[in-house]
A = this chain, B = another copy of it.
Amino acid sequence: MSSTTELDLAQYTEQLAQQARAASRKLVSANGNQKNAWLRRMTELIRERTPDLLAANERDIEQAPEYGLSEASIDRLRLTEARLEGIVTALEEIMALPNPVGEVIDSNMRPNGLLVTRVRVPLGVVFFIYESRPNVTIDAAALCVKSGNAVILRGGKEAFHSNMAFYQLLQEGLRDVGLPEQAVQLVETTDREAVGHFLKLNKYIDVTIPRGGKGLIERVARDATMPVIKHFDGICHVYLDKTADPELSKRITVNSKCQRPGVCNAAECLLVHADVAETLLPEVAKALLDAGVELRCCPRSLELVGSGVPATEEDYGTEYGAKILSVKVVEDMDAAIEHIHQYGSGHTESIITTELAAAEKFTTEVDSAAVIVNASTRFNDGGEFGLGAEIGISTDKFHARGPCGLNELTSYKYVAHGAGQIRE
C-alpha cells in the first residue's frame, strides 16, 4: 500500500507541476488589464461568498485544538468579516501596482545597429509553502499571477478548509476572466511527503519560496533542486554611535523593539559605543524598561543600567520574538560591525548618529539587506519601502534581497532586434 501511495503522490505532484508549467506558458502573454480583471473579480467573489468562507474557516477553528495550536495561533487562523475586508484591500493595492511583465529594463543600441533590450519576464512557476494564516493564500496567488507566474500553493494543514474555500474562488475567478485555471493550484493533500516530491521537480518549477519556521526553511534549502528565496531569522541590531542624539536613540530603540516584538524586523540587540555608554545607555535603558522590555546585558552595560540580567553568549544571535533585548557596549564602530557580522542574520540594522562619515561607513560596511540611518528597524518592509505588497523578506543576497514584491518574482530576457546582422 505504502509504495502505491508513494507512486500516486509522485504522479499527483508531477501532474500539478506540469500543469503549472503549461499555464505559465500561457500567462506570459496575459496583459495587465486581464490580470487586474481577475484581481477585481476576486474582490467581488470574496464579498459575495463571505458566509461560505467563514463557515469553512469555522471548521478549521474547531479542529485547531487537535493540532495543539496556541490561542495566539488560533487567533491568526481566524477569519472575520473585517479580516476578509482587509484581504479585499490588499487585492486592491496589488491591482494598483504597475504590471511588471514586459518592462524594458534597459537597452543598448549597438554600433552595428543591433538594438539589445533587457525585458522583464516572469520567473515561470513558483512553489509557495506557507503556514497557518489563510489570507496568505490570496496574497501569494495575487502577487504570483500579477507578476505572470503560475503558482502551486502548499498551505498548512491547520488552515486546510479555509485554503480550499479560497482556492475554489481563485479558480472560479480565473475561469470567469479567461485566464488559465491552472495558473493557481493548491496542493489538496496534507501528506508531508508531497513537499519532498515537488522539491525534486526543477524541470517544471523555477523557484520555491518557503515561509514559516526555521526548520521548514532549512529543510527546503537542503532538499530543493531549484532556487529558493529564503526568509530566515531577523536578528536585527540598533547601534548607538558616539554622536547619537539621545532623544532619537530612545525613540528609535524603543520603537524597533516594542512596536511589534514578534516580527522579523524587530530589534533583538542594542549596541552602544563605549565613549557614550555612560551618558546615553542609562536613559535609553530606562525608556526600554518603562516599555516593559527585559534587558540581557554585557558586564559593562549591566553596571551602567543597574538592572537587567547578564547576557549569555547565546543571547547574542537569538531572535526573541518578545519584549527581550540583548545589550552590549562596544569599543567603537568597527567592533559594532564585527558583532553584527558575527551574530546577525543580515536582515536589518539601524545606526543612530549625527556624523556624516559614520553613517557612510556603517551603510557601506554592514552587509545586511537593509541598513537604516536614524530610523526604526521596523521600516524594512515592502509597504514601508514603497514596493507595495510583499511575498516575504529575503535574507539571501542572490536574486532578491530584502522585501520581495512583484519585481522580485520576475527575471529578464535579452531581446535583440536586427536587420540581418551577422558576426564577422
A residues lining the B interface (CB < 8 Å): 25, 28-29, 102, 108, 110, 114, 116, 119, 121, 123-124, 206-207, 227, 245, 247-248, 251-252, 255, 259, 341, 359, 363-365, 367-376, 378-380, 384-386, 396-399, 401-403, 411-424
- Asked if A423 contacts B259 (CB within 8 A), the reply is yes
- Asked if A401 contacts B413 (CB within 8 A), the reply is yes
Q: Could you tell me the distance in whole angstroms from the C-beta of A353 to the nearest C-beta in chain B? A: 11
- Asked if B365 contacts A398 (CB within 8 A), the reply is no
- Separation of A28 and B362 alpha carbons in the complex (Å): 12
- Asked if A414 contacts B371 (CB within 8 A), the reply is yes
Q: Which residue of chain B has the shortest Cβ distance to A412 in the bound complex?
A: B401
- Asked if A375 contacts B421 (CB within 8 A), the reply is yes
Q: Which residue of chain B has the shortest Cβ distance to A101 in the bound complex?
A: B364
Chain B hits for A247, CB < 8 A: 420
- Separation of A380 and B402 alpha carbons in the complex (Å): 31
What is the copy number of this chain in the assembly?
2
> Given A398-B227, A414-B370, A423 and B116 touching (CB < 8 A)?
no
User: How would you classify the secondary structure of chain A's contact residues: helix, strand, loop or mixed?
Assistant: mixed
Chain B hits for A25, CB < 8 A: 341, 365, 367
Q: Which residue of chain B has the shortest Cβ distance to A248 in the bound complex?
A: B420
> Given A25-B341, A227-B227, A422-B378, A116 and B417 touching (CB < 8 A)?
no
> Given A116-B385, A227-B398, A373 and B29 touching (CB < 8 A)?
no
- Separation of A398 and B408 alpha carbons in the complex (Å): 10
- Asked if A418 contacts B386 (CB within 8 A), the reply is no
- Asked if B385 contacts A417 (CB within 8 A), the reply is no
- Asked if B420 contacts A371 (CB within 8 A), the reply is no
Chain B hits for A376, CB < 8 A: 421-423
